[in-house]
Structures are given as C-alpha cells and as structure tokens.
Chains A and B, each alone.
Chain A
Amino acid sequence: MPGLGASFGRGAATNTQQDFINSDCILIMGSNMAEAHPVGFRWPMKAKERGATLIHVDPRYSRTSAHCDLFVGIRTGSDIAFLGGLINYVLTHERWFKEYVLAYTNASVLIEQGYKDTEDLDGLFSGFNRESRSYDASEGHWGYEGSPGDRPDDAEETREAAGRGGQGIHGYGLMGGAISHGQPRSEMTAAPAGEPPRDPTLKHPRCVMQILRRHFARYTPETVARVCGCSAEEFTRVAELLCENSGRDRTSMIVYAVGWTQHTTGVQMIRAASILQLLLGNIGRPGGGIMAMRGHSSIQGSSDVPTLYDLLPGYLPQPAADPGHDTLDGYIEHEGLPTGYWVHFRKFVVSLLKAYYGEAAQPENDFRYDWLPRIDGDYSQLLTFERMSRGEMTGYLVLGQNPAGGGPNAGLHRAGLRQLDWLVVVDWFPTETATFWKNDPDAPTPDQIKTEVFLIPAASSPEKEGTLTNTQRLLQWHSKALDPPDDCRSDAWFVYNLGKRLRALYSGSTDPKDQPLLNLTWDYDHKSPQRLPDGTLSRIEGEPDIDRILREINGRKLDEIDPRTGRPRLLSGFSELKDDGSTDSGCWLYGGVYPEPERNRAADRKVNPGQGIQPDWGFAWPDNRRIMYNRASADPEGRPWSDRKKLIWWDEAQQRWVGHDEPDFEPEKPPGYRPAPDAEGMEAIAGDEPFIMKPDGVAWLFAPGAIKDGPLPAHYEPVESPVGNRLYPDVAHSPTVRLLRGPLNPLADTPTPEFPVVAFTFRLTEHYLSGPMSRFNGWLNELQPEMFVELSPELAEERGIEHGGWLTVRSPRGRIEARAMVTRRIRPLLVEGRTVHQIGLPFHWGYAGASVGGNANDLTSVLADPNVSMHEAKTFTCQVEPGRLAGPVARPTVPPTAWPDTRPIPETPTASQPEGKFVRSEPPQ
C-alpha cells in the first residue's frame, strides 16, 4: 500500500512475523489475525507468553479478540478517528520519542507558505479542485519550503516544473502504485540547495511538527469515543499501553490487514499508523514496525513482479500517455529521483527492457522503450469490470481469481462477464467465475448469455515449481513433487504456450504493432527433460523451465560469460545493474535471489538454531534484509538505542555496520557522514538518515505529494455511513473518492432510514476468500457448512430474528439470505448519542461448490479510492429482516464427498494404510 511507501519508502511490511516475539505491545487493528492468519498468530501468542500485551481494536469480537489482553469494539470505518486520537494523545502528553523523531523524520522541515490544512479549510486540504474532485499537491503547496514547486501561484512555469501537481505524470490514481513506491516527485522535496529548511526547535508554525499538532488537536478522547462508539477510558487505556511500551528500551508493533485497506480511506489509515509508529520511535527496530498481513500466498510477489496495470516490475510506473513519458529520458526524468536510492532508476528500466526485448533493445533505439503500452486511464479491476458491463471488453482471461464471487458488488462483475465475447478461466475447480452462465441464480437463462467460456484445468501447487513471496517479503521456492493429472497444467505452462502460439500466428509480420511480441525473449524450454524428485521423467510437454525465469528476474551481466555455465554471468545483486544495456533484470528488486549458478536463494532451507533472524531460510527483498530501515535501530551516532533492542550498530573498529540483520543501509557509510550540498543519489543520504528510499533520507510524518487524498490523514466517514462526519461536518466522506454510481452500482445516500444497519465483511479460519479453495473441500466444508450473519441479541429482538433461523440482508446492490448467528460478541454501539447496529458477514460463500450460500459481496459496492482504486467492502449500510429470500437460491453444484480418495496408498502394506478409509462392508441400503 502506498500508505507505507509514502511514509517510509517501501510499501511492504517492515518487520517479520517471527519478530513479533521481540515486541512488548502489539496493536492488532484492521486485522483478524488469529482467524485469517492462524500460523502467523503463533508469534503474537509467543510474545504474549513472554509478557507482551496484545490489543485488538475491531468492530467484532473474534477469535483474535479472545486472545488479546484488551479488546476495544469500534464502529467500522472509524479507524482514523481512533488513530488520530492516539497521535493526539502522544503529542499532547509529550510521549513521543524526541531523539528519534528529530533525527529520523521530517518533523522539523518547513512546509510551503501556501499550504492550508483541514483545520483552515473546514475538512479539506489546500489544492482541492471541486470540478475534478481531486487534489493538486503543487497548487496546494504540500511541498517543502524552497522546493522547485514552491513558487507563487500565478507563475506559469509552476506546473510545468512540478510535473503535473508534483505527483509525477500519472493522473489516474496510480502514483504511489499498488504497493510500494509512493516515492515523491523530486520537485516536492528537494530544495535548490539540497537540504530543505528546518527548525530543530520544532517551534516554527510551518514546521511539520506544529502542523501535526494543530491537525490532530481535535481528535480528543471524547471525540474518539463519540465517533468510534467506544468509551474514552478504553481509548486512553490503549494509548497508555502503546506509550508505556515504546521508547529506547521497549517497542510496540501494529498489525493490519484488509480491515484497513478495504476502505475508501484505507491508505490514510495506514498513514495514520505510520505517523503514530514514527512518533513512538518504533520503525526499523526489533519488535516494532507495521506488519501488513496479506491474504494470498504470493500477493506480495504479484505486486513486486506485478500483474498490475499501473506498474512494471520493481515498482517502476507503467508509462502514461503523456508527452512527458514519450521518451525514455523523459520518463526517467519525471519518475526518477536525483537523491536516494531511486537515483538508479535508469538502470532498473534499461535492465528490464533488456530482459523483455533482448537483442532488439539497444541504446540507439531507447532500448525499445516505445514498445511499452501507455496507460491513458484507470485499467484497474473495478474500472475494467465497469467497462466490461457496458460491453466495452471483448475477451478476458482469469487465472486463479474469482471476480464473480469475490469481487466487490459481485453482481456487477457477473453482469460484466455476460457482456464478454469470450472468457478464459484457469482454475482447479468450476468456480463462480467459470460457471456464471450456468449456476448464478440471479442470471438470465444460458441461451441469453453469449459468452464463450474456456475452462482450463490448472496444476495444483505440489504439481509445479516456483517462488512465492510471503507477507514479510520472503521469497520461498516450492519444488515440484509430482506431475499434474491428465490435462491439468501450470499457469506458467498456459501463458508460455499461449505466447508461443501467438508468436507463431504473428510470425513474419512486419507490422510495427507486432514487433514487441515477435522480439520478446520467449525461450524458457527445459534444456534437458524435467525430472521429478523420485527420479522419474515428467510426462508434461512444453513446461517452461521456471529456474530460467527466476534467473532472468534476478538479472545477468550480458557481456560476461560465466565459464561454469557458458551463459552470461548472474548478477550478485541489484548494485551490479548498469544503465548501458550490458545487464538485464526482470525485476531489480529481486536482484540477488539467484546470484550464482545452482544457487537459488529462494530455495535456501538452512536453519541456524537459536537465532532470531534466519538469513539462510529463503531470500527477503531487498538484498535479504529482514527488518527494513534497520539503521533506525541505532541512534544517530550508530549505537543501539538500548541493549534490549539492539539489531545493527556501527562498529568503529571494522568501520562498518554490523549486527543480527543485513543493514538496510550502505554498509560502510559512517554515522557521521554528511553529504556535499550538490550530492546526488546515495551520496546525498547522510550517515544518520535511515530511510534510503526517500529523497531526503528520513521518514515522512507529513507526505509532500505522493498521496492523492492529502498529506495527512483526516477522518472521513465511509461513503455509506449511519452518521455525519463529526470531525469535519462539511465533508462527509473522502472528497476524492470516485463513487462510480450507476444502475448496477447504486449507493445509499446516507444516513438513511432505509438502510440503517452498518455491515462489514470478515473472514473465517475454516474458509478461504470467496471459496474456490475451500468450498469444494469436504474437510473444510463440514467445519463451516453454511453462510451466516453475526448480529447482536438487541438487533435480533428488534427485528424478530431467531438465533439459528433465517434472515435476509438487503443493500442497495442486492439481497442475500443467511442463517442468523445471534451472539453477544456483536454489540450495539452508542455513536453520536444514538444506537448503531453492526452486523458481520463472512464473505466466503457463493453459488459454486459443495457448500453454497449467500454471497456477502453481492451486497458490497464498487467505489474507488484515489490512490489505488480500492473499494469499501469493510463498511456499507443495509437492512436486516427475518425470513428467507423469495425466488431461486443457489444449489450445490458438486456433490459432497466423504473421502478425497478411496484408493489404497500405493506401495504401502495394509497395516500402514490410513485407518479412516474404512468403507461399508455391505452395499448401502
């Protein structure tokens, strides 16, 4: 998320799951960790045994809450009010970590004179354009004082120089990208003389610290209580626990997941947590940081090596249809940065183009930069499906995702699929997406649906090899154990062979549009037949050699042949990249994962007993650093803040950084290093500036640019909310959210008596996302066999709903039925002096599988936050009524199965056969 990227430089979890045990206090908010990540929760549980305090702040008392020392129930979507309150508490009680904040954040930097805060403009920041409902950071003067963008308003060249609002070229909600970079446009942060003006006394009214104090002053405990629905005492207890457990000798960690991200203000919730952690001095330190708990096995990998429309591998922006991006030089000029690590931008791009286009990419043709497609709008999933539903898409390929079940406002997604000419689905089971024409009870009959569907059976994970990047940036290789059955094939096989066929279809073409494809390096054949671990030969023909792909991602020195292999030498890390075309790399960020022949570090499985950090188990980007920004674990002079919390430190004798982790810093740069005024690149980062991805080397309390909905977080109500905005009465919901209202996506104008109940979705341990990987499985289905809705006894009584009976939930988008789970774990909240009822809906069901049921995502809406086009499944309004739905409901599409396999285990004596495979001795009656 750009929330982390804008604050620290990289948009990924800062620490590791194992590092939880070093924590003294863990605040879990926007995450139901025990249920969604049970094995990850092993580590907070261990921390608790060692004396750490666990806090859960959530709308619902879940299995996570059951194991926390303190549970605070809040209204969903009120998180920024709560976090803003914590920030205000830390500031007003002077509990912030002064040395840390002064040295490692931009607290002392002066912001441009023209900047106006929400305090001055009744809930809006300066630079807001009411026509386009967007901010222009440059016009809003969100930059550092003295930066090139800091010019009088009327100067014609301002916008020119600042590169369209200081947010880079992209105007489509992609700056900041999906995950990481959020790196600023240099114009916002670099003063002409290098260092921006600062006030180390933090007294100047325009310094970040003072702006922060004013901005959060209204987030008092009483306001928090009124907005969130908790008590002021509960809030204060959380604040005290965090303050008590932060500082030189203690650290606190914050955990979040989609309970934060799936809001129209999600990016700013993460920003608020980042500000809080910076003020408490918890970033870059053991047991500190912010852990983003991500949902899919390689969701981090699919952001780093993205299948995202606005990013190229390694968080390079996809070029835009803008004159500024016309040439490679223009693109680099607009997107690169002169100071900090992004100075190497050209090396990253050129090496990527070499990996893509090989010999065809040469210096004289700009490495075929012009072959890359330009984006001229928002092509994110939600916007794509919106276009699809209007009939603007011809074909679509879905690989291991289930938009018809799991997409927000799933009905809109299904309406989109019905408008396609053709659809390809690659999956293990006949999912909602594959069978939308057949099994959707709300759809027209199949004869009215034109879509041609190809359903390709996929290989399961043990049947293929490759790398998965987990939630802590750890790349782990999984080996192929056996061949997939019958016609099942890996997704890599599918894409590789589809590419081969397309290249054959286009072969001989001289049309310029076909040259990128024809010149794509596309040879990943196995050099020798693939062998399975048991020594037999694989039966699958045409499987690409995944090892070769990983080596290409790692990168090679093209002008140097490795005598051991006769092939170009592999790069030992991204520091070896060149910008002259003599290196290639499919993703610079993963440099070093394959540094030598036969040394795939993602496949490293060495454990050093007794060590906290296990550097030889897998490979973490960047450069195997496990705790990012770990330079901040030492004080500005390079000494650990305390013995208890030491991680890396400056060793005067060795003249280098040493310790338990790879330094996320130049290993030999002394703490006392000061850059020359005109220094560029890494030389511009001082020896006491730990945030090397930031152009100014420090973390951002105040984000000048980079985030599209404001330089500081402000509480706005969800788009569908039961109450108005107490904090900024004139601005109900986020002013920059794109509502995407339409006939298929109606929204409730709230507060409304028609939809008075607040609903949120949640996840159960026993199921997985929209269900394709769990609702076809007997052993999981029996544990949670039916869709249910959690509601309080008070609401149940009000509506005449009985526990265990049926209820229907209606939102502007649709209606579903479910069993009623009436439980005291859900409590009505007192918000703004009146009772607000919340209900919780697990979102795992749909109409395909052995267990089917109401789909919570038929109720959610399509909205798009300005940064990452994120929807708001975690808050919407609805009505709840007793009884079942009239009309057709889903029926199981496959029979329930008792055993996965009744055949005996091969090569195994009877005595060692599993004991549960007993079968009827007589035929069934």
Chain B
Amino acid sequence: MTTRELEVPATAPPSGPVATILGPFLPVDRPEPRTPTGFYTDTTICIGCKACEVACKQWNQLPSDGMHWSGDSYDNTESLSATSWRHVKFIEQFASAGTQGPSRWLMMSDVCKHCTAAPCQHACPTGAIIYNEFSNVYIQPDICNGCAYCIAACPFGVITRSNLDGHAHKCTLCYDRQRDGLVPACAKACPTASIQFGPIDELRDRARRRVEELKSRGTSSAYLYGDAPTENYSNLHSFYLLVDRPSTYGLPESPFNPWLRMRGDYLRSLFGGLAGIVVLLIVWTLRMP
C-alpha cells in the first residue's frame, strides 16, 4: 500500500547557537543556475474555485486571514498579502436587464509576478531578496529585517509586511518544492490547468499558441500580459492570458520600473544638493562681516 518517494537525504543545515547567530553572515556556495521557471495563468479557463489559494496556504502553512465578507463578487481575499500568496479575482460584467451588452464573469488567479528585473529586489537594502537558481524572486526570511522598502517598490502591490512577525512575505514559487522537482502547490492543485508551471520559455511558447487558437475561435480580445518586456518594464516570470484591459483585472496598464527614472533622479539630487551648498556658501559669505 505504501510507497516511498523522495528518498533524498536532506542537506544538513548548520545548527547550534554559533551557527544560528553567525549563519546568515557566513559565506556559502551559490547553487548552480537551473532552467528559469515560472507561472503561466490562462484566465479563460479559471473556474474561480480558489483551490490555488488553499493549496498555497496548506503547503506553506500560511495563516487564515480571518473572516471579512467583502461583497466584491466572490472575492473575499481582496488582495495579495504577506499571508495570501494567491488571490482569485472575480469580475462581473453584465449589462442591465433588457439591454444588450457583455454577459460574462471573469476570473483570474493573481500571484507575485516574479519579474525578470524586480524593483523589490533592487530596493532591498539587506540583500534578503534574491533571484534564486530558478530565476524566481525569493525573499530570504532569515535575512529580511522588515524595512518594507520592497513594498513601496513593487508596482503590482504584491508584497506586504505581516504584523505577525514584522517581515515581508510573498509567493516563493514553492522554492522548496522546486528543489525536489515538485510542481508548486497552486499549479499542481488547479483543476482546469489555468495555472501552469514550467520552464518559462516553454510556457511563453505555449501561451502564444493558445492566444492564436483563441483568436481563431473568435476570442479576438485574448492577449498576453507580461510575456515580453515593454519599454518601461521587464518581462514577468508569472504572466497572464487576459481578455480585457489589464486594469479590469486590477493590474497596472503599463507597469513602470522606478529604477528607470533613478539615473535622472540621482543627478537632479546631486546637482540640487550642490546648488544648495553653493547657495548656502554665498549666503554665509554675504553674512560675513
């Protein structure tokens, strides 16, 4: 009756008080890079069951967020947060009775975008946020100091800081599962394969074929969000097939990487500062008797 799987000897972690205190500062070897992976979420086949949300909470043992009825269709999760790493959105589009118009109920499972160039990673002052060997964006919980810079940096509003432990948390793309060759919990659970996991290049190819297929069947509004870089933002390791404007799904129409403006901002600050000093010097000189 019983099978044993994954009989891999666990890597011995450093232990003992010294290791606990010093561990985070000790140099360790980086794992070898692996094929970049990610999520492709096809919203046209999402049935809004929220299996992804529960599977995520179960695997990661995330706490329940309590009970708040939002009244926003069937969405009571409301947003991604430190304790909800998957969030299924519901968009009711129905014309009023007796009028012609759309008649559809859109559903979409949202998650961290795992940006190729992630502003959160850039903003993190402690080096807690890394690109791991699967090119996923991962917050190292043992390094994060809870400064919340990443929260301000994320253009998608993915990250929040938990008031339970004071640290920032978000989807890990099941880093622990990927290490053992397992599919992330949400993608594994998804009953209709709306959430797909795999090598990001394969996913992009698959998604582009799917868009073509949908268009040939009459869904002309189908397109991919985040599969390719734009002028202002990198591509995403978690991208979406949508049939309405991004803002309909609560996504930024045109995400902007704040660091693109930083070069000018730094120069302006530098020159502004210098100008200030000059002014001060002049004032000071003039006040000199």
Q: 1/0 contact trace for B38-75 toward A, CB 8 Å?
A: 00000001011111011001111111111111010110
B77 contacts partner chain A, Cβ-Cβ < 8 Å: yes
The residue in chain A whose Cβ has the minimal distance to the Cβ of B88 is: A783
Cross-chain contact A896 with B67 (CB below 8 angstroms): yes
The residue in chain A whose Cβ has the minimal distance to the Cβ of B162 is: A918
Q: Which of B64, B103, B191 contacts A778 (CB 8 A)?
A: B64
Which A residues are in CB contact (< 8 Å) with B76? 782-785
A916 contacts partner chain B, Cβ-Cβ < 8 Å: yes
Distance to closest chain A CB from B239 (angstroms): 20
CA A325 – CA B185 in complex, angstroms? 57
A322 contacts partner chain B, Cβ-Cβ < 8 Å: no
Cross-chain contact A823 with B62 (CB below 8 angstroms): no
Distance to closest chain B CB from A163 (angstroms): 48
B247 contacts partner chain A, Cβ-Cβ < 8 Å: no
Cross-chain contact B192 with A42 (CB below 8 angstroms): yes
Cross-chain contact A921 with B166 (CB below 8 angstroms): yes
The residue in chain B whose Cβ has the minimal distance to the Cβ of A600 is: B1
B residues 139-171 near A (Cβ < 8 Å) are: 141, 162, 164-167, 169
**In the complex with contacts A41-B192, A479-B1, A918-B164 CB distance below 8 A:** yes
A909 contacts partner chain B, Cβ-Cβ < 8 Å: yes
Cross-chain contact B94 with A825 (CB below 8 angstroms): yes
Cross-chain contact B13 with A851 (CB below 8 angstroms): no
B212 contacts partner chain A, Cβ-Cβ < 8 Å: no
Cross-chain contact B92 with A533 (CB below 8 angstroms): no
B107 contacts partner chain A, Cβ-Cβ < 8 Å: yes
Cross-chain contact A782 with B71 (CB below 8 angstroms): no
> How many A-B pairs fall under 8 Å by CB?
154
Which A residues are in CB contact (< 8 Å) with B61? 899-901, 914-917
**In the complex with contacts A63-B49, A783-B77, A918-B162, A823-B64 CB distance below 8 A:** no
Interface of A: prevailing SS: loop
Cross-chain contact B54 with A783 (CB below 8 angstroms): yes
Cross-chain contact A782 with B1 (CB below 8 angstroms): no
Which B residues are in CB contact (< 8 Å) with A908? 10
A residues 886-916 near B (Cβ < 8 Å) are: 896-901, 908-912, 914-916
CA A12 – CA B68 in complex, angstroms? 40
Comparing A87-95, A127-135, A301-309, A786-794, the segment that makes contact with chain B is: A786-794
CA A444 – CA B215 in complex, angstroms? 63
Which B residues are in CB contact (< 8 Å) with A534? 2
Distance to closest chain B CB from A833 (angstroms): 16
Which B residues are in CB contact (< 8 Å) with A823? 73, 92, 94
Which B residues are in CB contact (< 8 Å) with A901? 61
Distance to closest chain A CB from B163 (angstroms): 8
Which A residues are in CB contact (< 8 Å) with B95? 824
Cross-chain contact B47 with A918 (CB below 8 angstroms): no
A residues 41-60 near B (Cβ < 8 Å) are: 41-42, 45, 49
Cross-chain contact A819 with B49 (CB below 8 angstroms): no
Cross-chain contact B164 with A765 (CB below 8 angstroms): no
CA A873 – CA B73 in complex, angstroms? 24
A597 contacts partner chain B, Cβ-Cβ < 8 Å: no
Which B residues are in CB contact (< 8 Å) with A821? 71
Which A residues are in CB contact (< 8 Å) with B62? 916
Which A residues are in CB contact (< 8 Å) with B49? 34-35, 38, 63, 765
Q: Interface residues of B, CB < 8 Å — how many? A: 53
- Which of A63, A780, A915 has the largest count of B CB atoms less than 10 A from its CB? A915
B288 contacts partner chain A, Cβ-Cβ < 8 Å: no
B37 contacts partner chain A, Cβ-Cβ < 8 Å: no
B18 contacts partner chain A, Cβ-Cβ < 8 Å: no
Q: Which of B67, B97, B176 contacts A827 (CB 8 A)?
A: B97
Q: Which of A65, A781, A793 contacts B67 (CB 8 A)?
A: A781
Which A residues are in CB contact (< 8 Å) with B71? 803-804, 819, 821
B238 contacts partner chain A, Cβ-Cβ < 8 Å: no
B34 contacts partner chain A, Cβ-Cβ < 8 Å: no
The residue in chain B whose Cβ has the minimal distance to the Cβ of A34 is: B47
**In the complex with contacts A783-B54, A915-B141, A63-B67 CB distance below 8 A:** no
Which B residues are in CB contact (< 8 Å) with A533? 1-2
Distance to closest chain A CB from B249 (angstroms): 15
Cross-chain contact A778 with B63 (CB below 8 angstroms): yes
**In the complex with contacts A828-B97, A911-B13, A41-B191 CB distance below 8 A:** yes
CA A896 – CA B66 in complex, angstroms? 7
Q: Which of B1, B69, B73, B104 contacts A819 (CB 8 A)?
A: B69
A919 contacts partner chain B, Cβ-Cβ < 8 Å: yes
Cross-chain contact B65 with A782 (CB below 8 angstroms): yes
B271 contacts partner chain A, Cβ-Cβ < 8 Å: no
Distance to closest chain A CB from B80 (angstroms): 14
A61 contacts partner chain B, Cβ-Cβ < 8 Å: yes
Cross-chain contact B2 with A479 (CB below 8 angstroms): yes
A337 contacts partner chain B, Cβ-Cβ < 8 Å: no
Cross-chain contact B92 with A825 (CB below 8 angstroms): yes
CA A918 – CA B165 in complex, angstroms? 6
The residue in chain A whose Cβ has the minimal distance to the Cβ of B84 is: A782
B121 contacts partner chain A, Cβ-Cβ < 8 Å: no
Q: 1/0 contact trace for B88-119 toward A, CB 8 Å?
A: 00001011110000011101000000000000
The residue in chain A whose Cβ has the minimal distance to the Cβ of B97 is: A827
Q: Which of B13, B103, B104 contacts A909 (CB 8 A)?
A: B13
**In the complex with contacts A38-B191, A66-B107, A784-B74 CB distance below 8 A:** yes
Cross-chain contact B67 with A910 (CB below 8 angstroms): no
Cross-chain contact B172 with A921 (CB below 8 angstroms): no
CA A408 – CA B13 in complex, angstroms? 57
A276 contacts partner chain B, Cβ-Cβ < 8 Å: no
B79 contacts partner chain A, Cβ-Cβ < 8 Å: no
Which B residues are in CB contact (< 8 Å) with A782? 64-68, 76-77
A674 contacts partner chain B, Cβ-Cβ < 8 Å: no
**In the complex with contacts A45-B47, A785-B68, A899-B61, A912-B10 CB distance below 8 A:** yes
B12 contacts partner chain A, Cβ-Cβ < 8 Å: yes
Q: Which of B74, B96, B141 contacts A793 (CB 8 A)?
A: B96
A564 contacts partner chain B, Cβ-Cβ < 8 Å: no
A524 contacts partner chain B, Cβ-Cβ < 8 Å: no
Distance to closest chain B CB from A588 (angstroms): 27
Q: 1/0 contact trace for B221-251 toward A, CB 8 Å?
A: 0000000000000000000000000000000
Which A residues are in CB contact (< 8 Å) with B83? 916
Which B residues are in CB contact (< 8 Å) with A479? 1-2
Cross-chain contact A63 with B105 (CB below 8 angstroms): yes
Which B residues are in CB contact (< 8 Å) with A267? none
A-B contact list, 26 entries, CB within 8 Å: A38-B49, A41-B191, A61-B94, A61-B105, A65-B105, A66-B104, A766-B50, A779-B53, A779-B57, A782-B65, A782-B77, A793-B96, A803-B71, A823-B92, A823-B94, A896-B64, A898-B164, A899-B64, A901-B61, A908-B10, A910-B13, A914-B59, A914-B61, A915-B141, A918-B141, A918-B167
Chain B residues at the A interface, C-beta cutoff of 8 Å: 1-2, 10-13, 45, 47-51, 53-54, 57-69, 71, 73-74, 76-77, 83, 92, 94-97, 103-105, 107, 141, 162, 164-167, 169, 172, 176, 191-192
Since A827-B97, A915-B141 are in contact, a sample of 16 more A-B pairs with Cβ atoms closer than 8 Å, ordered by chain A residue number, is: A35-B49, A38-B49, A67-B45, A765-B50, A782-B65, A782-B67, A783-B76, A792-B97, A851-B67, A899-B64, A908-B10, A909-B10, A909-B12, A911-B11, A912-B10, A920-B165
4 closest A-B pairs by CB? A778-B64, A916-B62, A785-B67, A898-B63
